[in-house]
Amino acid sequence: MAQQIKFEPLSGCIGALVHGVDLSNNHEDETIEQIQEGLMMHLALVFPGQNLSSAAHVALGERFGLLEPRHPLHDIADDLENIMVIENGPKRAPDNEDWHADMTFRTLPPQASLLAARVLPPKGGDTMFSNMYAVYDDLSKSMRHFLGTLNAVHSVETGYKKILVRDPIYEKDRLKALEKMDPADSYTTHPVVEHHPITGRPYLNVNEAFTSHIADLHSDESRALLNMLAERVRMPRYQVRHRWSVGDLVMWDNLATQHYAAGDYSEYRLMHRVTVKQFFRAREKEAT
């Protein structure tokens, strides 16, 4: 029998606390379907106190879709290559203080992530999520039409050069990694307005970390438009903020959201991320 799952909204726009599910168990298809439907509705799901093992974390991700084996510029866990290790603290400054969706510099960015808290500072390190459906929907009709005619360039170099400025200790290693990246994996053009492969809904698809410019505009026009859109993403009305506890797992839709990790701490913080490259349901929809 499938587990009885309840989604408790965390804000008026995005996010839900999930009750009634043990993610360490083997899940029936109906349970996985309920979680994915909840994700499509709420965009960011908080599963408190799950305390998943690394193996259970990966196994859960595999139930939703094809996994990313690794991130091109981050460490991976020694025991399981599908876990990306995110370490910050005294030896490495926090480096996610830009609103972004993960890996939009790829032709096909990942569709979801499952992030688990392993070690946390005594305070700080919250993660915020912003709803890109709502940001787009609240623009004027004329602006929505205009954005629908545009394309934007996304570049890994744009995002990671900002990180290197903040954390020069890692500059040499990161620059070497950037040089080795396949150009097909590090630079691409996306429509400014994309449509979600499962819901079909339009969402805003530019972010302050990886979007370098609007391809169709002069540079000053591009900067002005991107700055205006970034200000919309930052508006609290579109956001939810999660204060982590050790053992929490948060799953988010990487297409229809952006996220921001507050760097208001200096102590050690360790997170493990499993990334869903493509949902099985998205593949089924493409095949029909």
Could you give the strand order of the β-sheet that contains 211-214, starting from the edge strand earlier in sequence?
187-191, 151-155, 211-214
**Residue 104 pLDDT > 80, yes or no?**
yes
The whole-number pLDDT of residue 267 equals: 95
Catalytic-labelled residue, pool 27, 57, 100, 106: 100
The structural domains of the chain, ordered by start, are 6-287 (3.60.130.10)
Q: What is the pLDDT of residues 190-217, one digit of tens each?
A: 999 999 999 999 999 999 999 999 998 9
Q: What is the pTM of this model?
A: 0.91
71 is catalytic: no
The whole-number pLDDT of residue 11 equals: 98
Q: What is the pLDDT of residues 3-33, one digit of tens each?
A: 689 999 999 999 999 999 999 986 789 999 9
The whole-number pLDDT of residue 184 equals: 64
Catalytic-labelled residue, pool 42, 95, 102, 174: 102
**Residue 67 pLDDT > 90, yes or no?**
yes
Q: What is the pLDDT of residues 225-271, one digit of tens each?
A: 999 999 999 999 999 999 999 999 999 999 999 999 999 999 999 99
Catalytic-labelled residue, pool 27, 190, 273, 281: 273
Catalytic-labelled residue, pool 57, 154, 242, 259: 259
100 is catalytic: yes
